[in-house]
Amino acid sequence: MRRQSLVVRRARSCRGLIFWGVAVLIAVAVAIASTAFAGAPPEKITLRIGRIPQAQGMTPVTEVMRRDKLLEAAGAELGLQITLDLQDFAAGPPIRQALTGDKLDIGSVGNTPTLIGIAQGEPFHVLSMAEGGVKFLLTLPANSPIKVPEDLKGKKIGVLLATDNQFFFDLSLQALFGTMDYQALGIEAVGVKALIQGAVPPQGLAAGAATEAPYLMGQKEKLNTALFNSYGYTEANYDGPLGKGAGLELPAIKKSPYFPEGFYLHRNFWLVTDKLVRTSPKAVVAFLVAQHRALLTLAKMSPEDVARLAQEHWQLDPAVGKDVWLHDLDYRRGWGWLTEGDMRAVVDQSVLAAKGKMIEKPVTWKDMLGNLAPVAPLAKEAWERVRFPEASAFTAKDAKDVRGYPMWESDKWELPKKQ
């Protein structure tokens, strides 16, 4: 019995030694693997990003991202070695084409190219707001006899067709006159070829529609003036029942579905290819983090210094160009996360686009939610890294712009349930 007991004890002892030996080996293997992983080189990726440098708030944002290497820093935090390939384009449609043709990974475009692409099922996702709430103006040649909106009836007006400029013009007519039917108003919309032609109406045109930056370029040479703006206020040439000059609220603004933001719900978006979302979601998060860190940096700068960053592209003295920045939602909000209100710019205005034969049928809320679904969790991850703004800001009751719950809380959105 003693001999058997001794054998049993020795066997148990051997098994114990073997167990601890295996445990030690496993621990060593894990430590070696962890060390090897920690020392592994970061994944290298080149991000091809397209922008319109003559745009508004997006221009200083991308300049800060490039200057301070914010994209590279955000990528490093996620184990990526990112090389930025920032490409400049003259307009949104070529950027959309480059995205769908696998020549860009991320690009900024206006609302019109965005809704057209979604309606056609193109392989991209709306990622964030590039800029918004841009000031549009109903422009006039200098010394124009047009003094009130009613004077526009029966006139030829230059519009960059199938763009945000036309949406601003049409929605302004709807609020002012109860219709956007050109024929009913005796208005002839003449297609112009460049932004500056909308800002400085050429001979033969009584008025135009333009964004603020090109309008201010015309102001430098005293070539133009304006009647009213997209925020629902008069401009310098107004002289009518409300008084004279700029800054008078037009009563029609309260008829706008986007009051108090304005006649027109303007948003420009950053789009990302479906391919990048699938193959390198960390790069998408890095972009969003870099964008919002750039906005935080700009918030600490004077408006003149921000305008100075874009001076090469805007061609405006910073004392004048600062207004372009101050009017943009990039400044007024300080963040570009997408909300239910922002996506109304796509869904609502796709109805006008369908009527104008730009697309076959409007973009539905179901279409919109389907487009956002793959990037919503990535946006949430980026927001959790940046932690700005506080969650309560998305639904702030005193906000002067159209917003709502962010896209990662789209289950709380009300408009999709009503469609």
pLDDT tens-place string over residues 64-84: 999 999 999 999 999 999 999
Same domain as 57, residue 34: no
CATH number, domain of 144, equals 3.40.190.10
Whether residue 327 sits in one domain with residue 246: no
**What does the pLDDT look like over 374-394, one tens digit per residue?**
999 999 999 999 999 999 999
| Backbone φ and ψ of 257, nearest 5° | -65, -10
Contact between 361 and 347 (Cβ < 8 Å)? no
Specify the 3-state DSSP secondary structure of 236.
coil
Domain-terminating residue out of 205, 231, 255: 255
Domain's final residue, options 255, 290, 320: 255
pTM: 0.85
280 & 398 share domain: yes
Residues of the chain with pLDDT under 70: 1-39
- Residue 262 falls within a domain, yes or no? no
Q: What per-residue confidence (pLDDT) applies to 164?
A: 87
Determine, yes or no, domain membership for 376.
yes
Long-range contacts of the stretch 275-282 (C-beta < 8 A, 24+): 275/102, 275/105, 275/123, 276/47, 276/105, 276/106, 277/125, 277/374, 277/375, 277/378, 278/374, 280/43, 280/45, 280/80, 281/378, 282/43, 282/75, 282/78, 282/79, 282/80
User: Does residue 227 lie in a domain region?
Assistant: yes
Is 352 found in the same domain as 341? yes
Query: Do 301 and 311 fall into the same domain?
Result: yes
pLDDT score, position 39: 58
- Considering the domain architecture, whether residues 19 and 166 belong to the same structural domain is answered as no
Angle at 17 between CA 11 and CA 19, to 5 degrees: 105
In a domain, 410, yes or no: yes
Provide the 3-class DSSP secondary structure of residue 162.
coil
- 149 in the same domain as 188: yes
| CA–CA separation, 249 and 238 (whole Å) | 11
The residue among 408, 268, 260 whose CA lies nearest residue 330 is 268
Residue 268 near residue 211, CB atoms below 8 Å? no
> Does one domain contain both 140 and 203?
yes
* Sheet order of strands, 207-211 included: 188-191, 156-159, 207-211, 136-141, 224-229
Same domain for 289 and 414? yes
Residue 261 lies in a domain: no
The conformation of residue 301, written as its DSSP 8-state character, comes to: S
- Domain assignment of residue 6, given as a range: 1-40
- Does residue 73 sit within a domain? yes
> Are 289 and 182 contained in the same domain?
no
145 and 234 in a single domain? The answer is yes
**pLDDT at res. 93:** 86
Residues 54 and 181 grouped into a single domain = no
Instruction: Classify residue 49 by its DSSP letter.
Output: E
Whether residue 263 lies inside any domain: the answer is no
Q: Is residue 264 part of a domain?
A: no
Gap between the Cα atoms of 223 and 228, Å rounded: 17
Q: How many domains does the chain have?
A: 3
At 273, which amino acid appears? T
Beta bridge partners of residue 157, listed in sequence order? 189, 207
CB 309, CB 59: distance < 8 Å: yes
